[in-house]
């Protein structure tokens, strides 16, 4: 009977539990933990509202940087196209002169042929690609009259200059092609960045958009507070400067008329420069204010729309001052001044890569074309935080 019994499973026991049972329990626990771990990230796959805002802002900044590259490529392309057109016109004119010189040589050859005065090597000379080689032959030189020699000289000169200009035109056309390729690349980059930003914004719910608007409102309030603070600092500095000037004037008048006349001459030499700048700045600001409400369009220079550097360039052009097209060129088109000494008309640049610019109007405020989807407006220079301000430049 004992032979019909089932043998006990062998194996190690742990705390009275057989190993297979322990393994089953352990695997079940792992599976549950695994399901929980896999389920948790599913709710966190969507980026937070703050992350979306930062990503959108970054995309707009990248688009603005690409816009500057587009503007530079467009300007370079326009200049290169003008140069190519000039060179082609020059080549056409020189070709005409070359043909006229060739016709004159042909008339000499025909005349010599009719009179029988032409030697065989003269005909060869007239048909040669490099007539200068035949100049060195004394016998041929002897047969030529002064007028014939002048005609040959003119032909050789025109041929050489025409070939040179044709080479220049070919090289300029190649450069133009490269500039046009750069223009297309920059344009595609801008369009891609803007499309990415629009896609991110389109995925936000109505509640998220409302929260984002509230965050923007808080940022604007903080920016306004910082602008007021700067305005108070500038007003205090201006008052102190005026009081110091009054004290100096009082000291000068009490020291005698001779000294006083000297000081007045010195002060009059510095006043016109400030007055001149203020006059130009007033014209630039008047133009900028007239553009408020017009849409931001990348690459636009007016009159119906602007990008940031297009607006500042047009504003100062109205004041008779020519600025470069791009922000990273405009930042070098004047004298850098401390933010605390910024005056109306100064240009305020933003970010480490200098991809944005506005025109200062005083009291911590500026007029600028912010970004795609917005309009030219007045805004605090702290609109994106104090750390975003790169520099202040006085352009005139």
Tally of helices (H runs) and strands (E runs) in the chain: 10, 8
Q: What angle do CA 394, 395, 396 make, to 5 degrees?
A: 105
**Measuring CA to CA, how many Å separate 342 from each of 87, 233, 251, 363, 394?**
46, 11, 29, 9, 8
45 catalytic, yes or no?
A: no
**Of 151, 169, 197, 308, which one is the catalytic site residue?**
308
CA proximity to 64, closest of 294, 305, 370, 376: 370
258 catalytic, yes or no?
A: no
Does a cis peptide bond (omega within 30 degrees of 0) precede residue 303? yes
**Measuring CA to CA, how many Å separate 116 from each of 109, 217, 237, 385?**
10, 98, 97, 92
Q: Which residue has the tokens 């030697």?
A: 119
Report how far residue 377's alpha carbon sits from residue 291's, in angstroms, rounded to the nearest whole number: 8
Render 184-250 in DSSP notation, one character per residue.
HHHHHHHHHHHHHHHHHHHTS-HHHHHHHHHHHHHHHHHHHHHHHHHHHHHHHHHHHHHHHHHHHHH
Cross-strand pairs, 360? 366
**Of 94, 325, 356, 394, which one is the catalytic site residue?**
356
4 catalytic, yes or no?
A: no
Long-range contacts of 82-88 (CB under 8 A, 24+ apart): 83/172, 84/169, 84/172, 84/173, 84/176, 87/165, 87/168, 87/169, 87/172, 88/169
Report how far residue 246's alpha carbon sits from residue 265's, in angstroms, rounded to the nearest whole number: 16
Cross-strand pairs, 367? 359, 378
Render 31-77 in DSSP notation, one character per residue.
HHHHHHHHHHHHHH-SPPHHHHHHHHHHHHHHHHHHHHHHHHHHHHH
> Which sequence positions are flagged as catalytic?
308, 356, 368
């Amino acid at each position: 009977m004992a032979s019909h019994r089932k043998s006990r499973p062998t194996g190690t026991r742990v705390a009275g539990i057989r190993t297979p049972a322990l393994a089953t329990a352990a695997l079940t626990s792992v599976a549950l933990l695994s399901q929980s771990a896999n389920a948790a990230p599913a709710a966190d796959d969507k980026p937070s509202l703050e992350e979306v805002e930062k990503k959108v802002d970054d995309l707009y900044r990248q688009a603005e940087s690409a816009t500057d590259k587009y503007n530079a490529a467009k300007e370079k392309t326009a200049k290169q196209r003008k140069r190519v057109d000039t060179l082609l016109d020059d080549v056409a004119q020189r070709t005409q002169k070359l043909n006229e010189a060739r016709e004159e040589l042909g008339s000499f050859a025909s005349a010599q042929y009719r009179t029988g005065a032409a030697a065989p090597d003269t005909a060869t000379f007239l048909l040669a690609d490099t007539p200068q080689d035949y100049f060195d032959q004394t016998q041929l030189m002897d047969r030529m009259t002064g007028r014939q020699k002048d005609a040959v000289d003119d032909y050789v000169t025109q041929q050489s200059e025409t070939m040179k200009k044709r080479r220049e035109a070919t090289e300029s056309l190649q450069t133009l092609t490269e500039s046009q390729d750069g223009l297309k690349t920059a344009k595609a980059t801008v369009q891609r960045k803007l499309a990415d930003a629009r896609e991110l914004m389109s995925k936000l719910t109505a509640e998220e958009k409302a929260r984002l608007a509230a965050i923007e409102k808080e940022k604007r309030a903080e920016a306004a507070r910082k602008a007021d603070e700067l305005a108070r600092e500038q007003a205090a500095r201006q008052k102190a400067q005026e009081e110091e000037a009054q004290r100096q004037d009082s000291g000068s008048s009490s020291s005698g008329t001779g000294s006083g006349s000297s000081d007045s001459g010195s002060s009059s030499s510095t006043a016109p420069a400030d007055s001149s700048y203020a006059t130009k700045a007033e014209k630039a600001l008047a133009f900028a204010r007239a553009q408020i409400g017009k849409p931001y369009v990348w690459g636009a220079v007016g009159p119906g729309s602007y990008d940031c550097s297009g607006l500042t360039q047009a504003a100062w052009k109205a004041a008779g001052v020519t600025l470069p097209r791009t922000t990273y060129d405009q930042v070098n088109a004047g004298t850098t001044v401390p933010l605390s000494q910024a005056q109306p008309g100064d240009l305020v640049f933003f970010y480490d890569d200098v991809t944005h610019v506005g025109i200062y109007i005083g009291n911590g405020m500026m007029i600028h074309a912010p970004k795609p989807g917005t309009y030219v407006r007045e805004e605090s220079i702290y609109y994106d935080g104090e750390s975003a301000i790169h520099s202040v430049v006085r352009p005139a």
